Chains A and B, each alone.
Chain A
Amino acid sequence: AQSVSQHNHHVILSEAASLELGCNYSYGGTVNLFWYVQYPGQHLQLLLKYFSGDPLVKGIKGFEAEFIKSKFSFNLRKPSVQWSDTAEYFCAVTHKAAGNKLTFGGGTRVLVKP
């Protein structure tokens, strides 16, 4: 079955450390890729998205993600995290053949220690 996988369920790191969260999807063909973030007690917010073009996309709050088609990956990165980046991060995909529904990965809880 087509799916989205996030390999890390929990990540704990200190402020100023670099963050990379993995995301892999199993769809072939045209996909649109998203990273959403959910801060404690808040709704899902869009961090960044990839539709086409430059495979390195920059989002809000210093996040970026790289689409590597050959690896079916869309990993999220931030060079230096802050305590306020503590949140749950979700990778999601829409696929042309699957309509306009988002298929989510399982999420990664990130805890940044001050």
Chain B
Amino acid sequence: EPEVTQTPSHQVTQMGQEVILRCVPISNHLYFYWYRQILGQKVEFLVSFYNNEISEKSEIFDDQFSVERPDGSNFTLKIRSTKLEDSAMYFCASSTSWEVQGGGNQPQHFGDGTRLSIL
């Protein structure tokens, strides 16, 4: 079964440094997402991406965050100047489609996550 792959599995970074988390979505998927889970808290939506632009973002996704699909396969999340509170597990997901009528009914497939630790 095709999988979403994420690299690295664990990233340790000094506060204030830039970090790039990488994801390779399933090849025929068109919608891409980032979520994060701070230790002990819920999985939270960060951003969704379709047709080379952000389709939706949460309040968490401020100017420090950006996403990019630099080529036909990778989908990246960049944090420009990391803060201690950015420490979390970051999950990438992808889906084939999203029907407006159904309100997002195509299941999202998740990667294994990147554990980001900010020192």
Point out which of B33, B41, B108 has the most chain A C-beta atoms below 10 A from its C-beta. Answer: B108
Proximity string of chain A (70-102) to chain B, C-beta cutoff 8 Å, 1 when within and 0 when not? 000000000000000000001010111111111
Count of chain A to chain B residue pairs whose CB atoms are closer than 8 Å in the complex = 77
Q: In the complex, which residue of chain B has the Cβ closest to the Cβ of A33? A: B105
Q: Mark the stretch among B10-18, B64-72, B74-82, B110-118 that contacts chain A.
A: B110-118
Is B45 a contact partner of A102 (Cβ separation < 8 A)? yes
Interface presence of B43 (CB below 8 A): yes
Is A99 a contact partner of B55 (Cβ separation < 8 A)? yes
Q: How many residues belonging to A are interface residues under a CB distance threshold of 8 Å?
A: 28
Q: If A100-B98, A107-B42 touch, does A46 touch B109 (CB 8 Å cutoff)?
A: yes
Kindly state the interface size class of chain B when it binds its partner. Answer: 20 to 34
Interface presence of A61 (CB below 8 A): no
Interface presence of B20 (CB below 8 A): no
Is A32 a contact partner of B111 (Cβ separation < 8 A)? no
Is A94 a contact partner of B113 (Cβ separation < 8 A)? no
Is B105 a contact partner of A101 (Cβ separation < 8 A)? no
Is A105 a contact partner of B103 (Cβ separation < 8 A)? no
Interface residues in chain A, defined as those with a beta carbon under 8 Å from any beta carbon in chain B:
30-32, 34, 36, 42-46, 49, 51, 90, 92, 94-107
